[in-house]
Amino acid sequence: MTELTLPLRGLLARPLRTLLTVLGIALAVAGFVALTGLTAGVQHSFASGIDENGADLVVSQRAAFNLVSSTVPKALGSGLSAVPNVEAVSGVLLNITTADDNANIVMAGWPSDSFLWKDMHLVAGRIPAPGDQWPVILGESIATALDKRVGDTVELQFQPYQIVGIASFSSVLNQNSAIVPLEGLQQLLSREDVFTLYEVRLKRPLEKNDIAVARTRLIAAAPGFAVGDTEQFANSIRIFDLLKAIAQTISLVVMAMASVAVANTLLMAVNERTFEIGVLAALGWSPRRILRLILIEGVIMSAAGGVIGIVLGVLTMQMAAKTNFAAGLIVPYLSGWSIAQALIFVFIAGPLGALYPAWRATRLLPADALRRI
Amino acid sequence: MSLLVELSNVGRDFDGGRIVAVDGVSLAIEDDETVAIVGRSGSGKSTILNLVCGLDRPTRGEVRFEGRAVNGRAAWAAVRASRIGIVFQNFFLLQSLSARENIEVALLGNLGGARQRRVRALELLAHFGLAERATLLPAELSGGERQRLAIARALANRPKLLVADEPTGSLDVQTSQSVMGIIGNAHREFGTAVIVVTHDEDVAALCGRRVEISDGRIRSDSRTAAMPKPSANP
Ligand SMILES: Nc1ncnc2c1ncn2[C@@H]1O[C@H](COP(=O)(O)OP(=O)(O)OP(=O)(O)O)[C@@H](O)[C@H]1O
Ligand SMILES: [Mg+2]
């Protein structure tokens, strides 16, 4: 037998309670993992969605609250185009709405002369032509989800659009997007003369610091606006910070609850096993060793809860991302760091909960402990 | 021969002084003695025994072990781990552990490796005729086997002092005699000093010294030569 034998037997002697505590910890960890994974996922999917269109840099409003609330005046365009090494710029107007009152969809309004149309990979139909009445290109996923084909109609922002093409993208966000001519969308949103952002494409081939140099020049051409790559743009959006703050707060509360669950379970275990602890003390176990015994039980439960929680969290996250509400907007994104955070949390919360019961166990006078049979 | 335990003017109150379980007890026990503590129920025998082992804390007075005053839980735990073996009335075996593990648990504080502990535990089990029972749980052992296991566990760390509270209390005459035989053997073979609490005069008669307690005080303290002294070469 080793020092682990007794804690393990202790936990197995109360299987149901141990299981419930482990489950409590697992749910807390799952909550944390799912929340952080989903929040990071929103941000990540926006970044990769914009990235895919072939833009190297994005000019947007500083610290915009959310993706669609950024406002950049149309007048900025000529100044940006004049920056050396810039191949093309394109204003983009973004809007999040529902398609046929059913699925979430990102609408992107592109000017008819935008460079963005060129890189599009059509799987059916064509790009809008002059003279089309309310034409739209749907991403492949949303088209499949809504069971739409070229020639069908889809209602976007309360306006029936004619589907002229279906395009395939690599990012989930774009796969679930609708691309429409800029003018119509501006009219629907009453946002004439402004864009959500400018996408900037630099001349090829790109040298190592071309992007940095171009960025400095673009900042000079658009004073007061944010210029960055797509990842930086996604990071600058305020609502993501808000989402993260909410996720972190909830996670913290949930973790505290897990800690209390561990404390409660072990406190009951200590009370129940007062006698056993008395026997160990009578056999010459030092208070330190008895403390360690209870702490180890806490750590074992936490470790088990942590591992189960991460698996559960990943599953929850995947399921949540598939709900109607989130589909197309959120691609779960779990970094190694947030898994590490969850584990660090667990290895603090569990032992912390075990500390008080363990301390209580060492305060018992052996004679008193042995009287309670 | 040297002084093993020494109680000087020891008292123990309960309930904030309303119960005086032990009062003004001075008792010195040599390292080769066998002592029976006798007295009526509630006279304070168990309380004295608990004080001797540091399981309880005296309200007054001082307990010295091998000439040193022992204070605090950790210090007493260390003394018990290496110097004192305790046999309780109900054996107090750990129910979730096998016979072998019950002995190993007592060795955990003292003996380094898991392998060493296992070897020593099996050695003790064999010595007490429990070799075949090593993997059984206490609940699967007979009453007599449980007793031997409890004694084996108490002797695991080769203690200087073996303490037993009513080791024969719940037993029939024959089994209780065999328990006393084992304890007597431990005394002879390992040179262990023995303190037995009992209200059985036959058991008391087997000891070299008889201390009678009533109302928490020593009434009489007499030496006989009933139990043979340990031999020079066990
Ligand atoms: N923890 C305690 N709290 C209150 N009273 C106690 C406590 N321990 C012992 N006593 C009281 O102290 C007195 C002596 O008790 P003790 O257990 O030492 O007697 P004993 O001689 O061992 O009796 P028995 O032969 O029945 O075991 C009793 O009156 C008992 O009720
Ligand atoms: Mg008693």
CA distance A264 to A276: 19
Domain identity same for A89 and A155: yes
**Touching check for A15 and chain B: CB below 8 Å?**
no
Cα torsion through B119, B124, B128, B134, rounded to 10: -40
Chain A: closest CA distance from residue B106 (Å): 5
Domain identity same for A132 and A262: no
For residue A370, the model assigns a pLDDT of: 87
pLDDT band at residue A353 using 50, 70 and 90 as cut-offs: confident
Chain B: closest CA distance from residue A1 (Å): 6
Average pLDDT, chain B: 89
> What is the CB-side half-sphere exposure of residue A249 using CA atoms within 13 A?
6
Is residue A162 helix, strand or coil? Answer: strand
Asked if residue A51 belongs to a domain, the reply is no
Q: Does the pLDDT value for residue A322 go beyond 80? A: no
Domain identity same for A221 and A351: no
Q: What atom of ligand 1 comes closest to residue B213's alpha carbon?
A: 21
Higher per-residue pLDDT: A234 or A150: A150
In total, the C-beta contacts within 8 angstroms joining chain A to chain B are 86
**What tens digit of pLDDT does each residue of A157-173 get?**
999 999 999 999 888 78
Sign of CA dihedral A284, A289, A295, A299: negative
Asked if residue A75 belongs to a domain, the reply is yes
Q: Does the pLDDT value for residue A90 go beyond 70? A: yes
Last residue of a domain, one of A197, A228, A259: A228
Ligand 1: which residue has its CA nearest to atom 11? B21
pLDDT (average), residues B21-43: 94
pLDDT (average), residues A14-38: 87
Q: Does the pLDDT value for residue A310 go beyond 70? A: yes
Strands A103-110 and A177-181: parallel
Asked if residue A49 belongs to a domain, the reply is no
Domain identity same for A178 and A270: no
CA distance B94 to B84: 19
| Percent of chain A at pLDDT exceeding 70 | 98
Ligand 1 near B117 CB (within 6 A): no
Asked if residue A169 belongs to a domain, the reply is yes
**What tens digit of pLDDT does each residue of B142-187 get?**
888 998 999 999 999 999 999 999 887 666 777 777 778 888 888 9
Reply yes or no: is the peptide bond before residue A181 cis, omega within 30 of 0. no
Last residue of a domain, one of A228, A255, A273: A228
Asked if residue A50 belongs to a domain, the reply is no
**Touching check for A205 and chain B: CB below 8 Å?**
no
For residue B101, the model assigns a pLDDT of: 95
Last residue of a domain, one of A176, A202, A228: A228
Range in A68-82, A254-268, B63-77 the model is least confident about = A254-268
Domain identity same for A79 and A208: yes
Give the distance (Å) from ligand 2 centre to CA of residue A152. 93
**Touching check for A246 and chain B: CB below 8 Å?**
no
**What tens digit of pLDDT does each residue of B106-142 get?**
998 776 788 999 999 999 999 999 999 999 999 999 8
For residue B63, the model assigns a pLDDT of: 96
pLDDT band at residue A186 using 50, 70 and 90 as cut-offs: very high
List of domains in chain B:
3-223 (3.40.50.300)
B179: left (phi over 0), alpha (psi -120 to 50) or beta: alpha
Domain identity same for A244 and A313: yes
Is residue B95 helix, strand or coil? Answer: coil
- Give chain A positions within 8 Å (CB) of B108: 1, 3, 285, 289
Is residue A364 helix, strand or coil? Answer: coil
- Give chain B positions within 8 Å (CB) of A280: 105
User: DSSP assignment, residue A84?
Assistant: T
pLDDT band at residue B234 using 50, 70 and 90 as cut-offs: very low
Ligand 1 near B39 CB (within 6 A): yes
**What tens digit of pLDDT does each residue of B208-225 get?**
999 999 999 999 999 976
- Closest CB to B55 among A362, A367, A373: A367
- Give chain B positions within 8 Å (CB) of A365: 55-57, 73
Domain identity same for A61 and A160: yes
Domain identity same for A255 and A161: no
pLDDT (average), residues A340-355: 81
Domain identity same for A191 and A104: yes
Tell me the β-bridge partners of B214.
Answer: B217
Q: Does the pLDDT value for residue A38 go beyond 90? A: no
Higher per-residue pLDDT: A197 or A43: A197
Asked if residue A127 belongs to a domain, the reply is yes
Total number of domains in chain A: 2
Domain identity same for A216 and A294: no
CB environment B107-143: b (16+ within 10 A), e (fewer): bbbbbeeeeebbebbbebbeebebeebbeebbeebee
Of all ligands present, the nearest one to the C-alpha of B43 is: 1
What lies within 8 Å, CB to CB, of A231 at 6+ separation is A47, A51
Ligand 1 near B41 CB (within 6 A): yes
Asked if residue A52 belongs to a domain, the reply is no
For residue B59, the model assigns a pLDDT of: 96
pLDDT (average), residues A118-124: 89
Domain identity same for A98 and A217: yes
Range of the domain at A28: 5-44+240-371
For residue A256, the model assigns a pLDDT of: 81
Domain identity same for A245 and A162: no
Asked if residue A349 belongs to a domain, the reply is yes
